[in-house]
């Protein structure tokens, strides 16, 4: 099976490419906006030239796809921050260009695209959100991801959108709250407090390795698949638990408030979407997928992954 992973240099893309390489009989090629880290002599043989879907020409991308001749394309490319131009180009235009190029060059290939829980917007009361819930994104990020989802589901391709909730685990970027908290707690002195906004909003956190496993199952699943599948833990927990879990992983046993001050500027989305939890029934039924990594394990591994080469004894 020939698998092409786009966005392979990103947080979820790296975990996904690693998992797909372990599939029996899989030949995985990767591409990102920048070359992946490789040996000094050059990129790994399975790496394609850099691909930036936000600026790609559909014809040139189709030519690359013809050369790669993939059986499956996995699109992990996405932007969680930046200007309006960046968000719409990467999250909305990118999937549309990819679908057009795939339709021309590899119309029988399966497309697995990573969407976002931000596409849903506020939940009805405190109920798990299923794939049939109305999409009512509140900000440009969610709206741009929804536009990308609509491009994929309306393409006529053999495609599925895995709507990922809040990924947390090793490699979490500084643009995410878990990644930023881990980095700031690493830098903080013994008497310093890290400032955040209010951490009382509830979110559904899922490990990136569980996301990668869902991708692998979607890649190999018999046809057809539903248009959209939720990928989360199925549990809503206070964002404050992220701070507490990281502190416990660091060996700190005191009150969270001694090291984290919630008196900074908060996220507007936290106030507008105070509670969100995925209904993951469909993913379990369709893919036989369940999350395997515990929340504690995700945070412990995130903390360990941020350690410097030589870490002082606490």
Asked if the model's pLDDT at residue 194 lies above 60, the reply is yes
pTM of the predicted structure, to 2 decimals = 0.93
In a domain, 188, yes or no: no
Residues 6+ apart with CB under 8 A from 263: 195
Task: Write down the pLDDT at residue 217.
Answer: 98
Catalytic residue of the set 120, 141, 165, 303: 141
| SS3 state of residue 57 | coil
Task: Write down the pLDDT at residue 41.
Answer: 39
Q: Which domain holds residue 104?
A: 2-169+206-235+276-293
In a domain, 95, yes or no: yes
In tens, the pLDDT along 104-139 reads 999 999 999 999 999 999 987 889 999 999 999 999
Mean pLDDT of the chain: 91
Q: How confident is the model at residue 190 (pLDDT cuts 50, 70, 90)?
A: confident
Q: How confident is the model at residue 22 (pLDDT cuts 50, 70, 90)?
A: very high
Cα separation, 88 vs 84, in Å, equals 6
Asked if the model's pLDDT at residue 45 lies above 50, the reply is no
In a domain, 192, yes or no: no
In tens, the pLDDT along 76-111 reads 999 999 999 999 999 999 999 999 999 999 999 999
**By C-alpha distance, which of 212, 229, 113, 114 is closest to 170?**
212
In tens, the pLDDT along 62-72 reads 999 999 999 99
In a domain, 271, yes or no: no
In a domain, 49, yes or no: yes
Largest CA distance in the chain: 60
Q: How confident is the model at residue 175 (pLDDT cuts 50, 70, 90)?
A: confident
Cα separation, 5 vs 29, in Å, equals 6
Q: DSSP readout, 127-196?
A: -PBPTTSPP---SHHHHHHHHHHHHHHTS-SEEEEEEE-EE-STT--TTSHHHHHHHHHHH--TT--EE-
Question: Looking at residue 220, which CATH number applies to its domain?
Answer: 3.40.50.720
Q: How many structural domains compose the chain?
A: 1
Is 141 noted as a catalytic residue in this protein?
A: yes
Give the residue-averaged pLDDT of 195-208: 95
In a domain, 31, yes or no: yes
Show the CA angle centred on residue 214, arms to residues 211 and 219, nearest 5°: 130
Element (H, E) at 240: helix 240-249
Cα separation, 187 vs 65, in Å, equals 44
Cα separation, 42 vs 288, in Å, equals 39
In a domain, 164, yes or no: yes
Which regions of the chain does DSSP assign to beta strands (E)?
2-6, 27-31, 72-75, 110-116, 158-164, 166-167, 194-195, 202-203, 205-206, 228-231, 237-238, 260-261
In a domain, 93, yes or no: yes
Cα separation, 121 vs 145, in Å, equals 12
């Amino acid at each position: 099976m020939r698998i092409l992973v786009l966005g392979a240099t990103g947080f979820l893309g790296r975990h996904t490419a690693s998992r797909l390489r372990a599939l029996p009989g899989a030949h995985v090629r990767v591409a990102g906006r920048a070359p992946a880290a490789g040996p000094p002599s050059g990129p790994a043989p399975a790496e394609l030239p850099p691909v930036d879907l936000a600026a790609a020409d559909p014809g040139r991308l189709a030519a690359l796809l013809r050369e790669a001749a993939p059986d499956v394309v996995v699109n992990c490319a996405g932007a969680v921050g930046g200007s309006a131009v960046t968000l719409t180009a990467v999250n909305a235009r990118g999937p549309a260009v990819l679908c057009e190029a795939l339709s021309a060059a590899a119309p029988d290939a399966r497309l697995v695209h990573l969407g976002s829980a931000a596409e849903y917007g506020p939940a009805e009361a405190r109920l798990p959100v299923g794939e049939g819930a109305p999409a009512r994104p509140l900000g440009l990020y969610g709206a741009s991801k929804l536009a990308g989802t609509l491009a994929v589901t309306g393409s006529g391709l053999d495609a599925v959108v895995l709507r990922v909730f809040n990924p947390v685990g090793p490699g979490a970027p500084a643009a995410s709250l878990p990644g930023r908290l881990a980095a700031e707690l690493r830098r903080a002195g013994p008497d310093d407090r890290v400032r955040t906004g209010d951490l009382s909003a509830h979110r559904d956190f899922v490990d990136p390795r569980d996301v990668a496993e869902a991708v692998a199952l979607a890649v190999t699943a018999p046809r057809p698949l539903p248009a959209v599948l939720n990928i989360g833990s199925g549990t809503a927990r206070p964002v404050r638990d992220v701070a507490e879990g990281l502190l416990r992983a660091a060996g700190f046993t005191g009150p969270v408030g001694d090291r984290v001050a919630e008196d900074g500027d908060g996220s507007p989305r936290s106030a507008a979407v105070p509670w969100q939890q995925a209904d993951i029934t469909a993913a379990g039924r369709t893919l036989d997928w369940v999350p395997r990594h515990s929340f504690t394990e995700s945070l412990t591994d995130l903390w360990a992954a941020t350690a410097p080469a030589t870490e002082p004894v606490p």
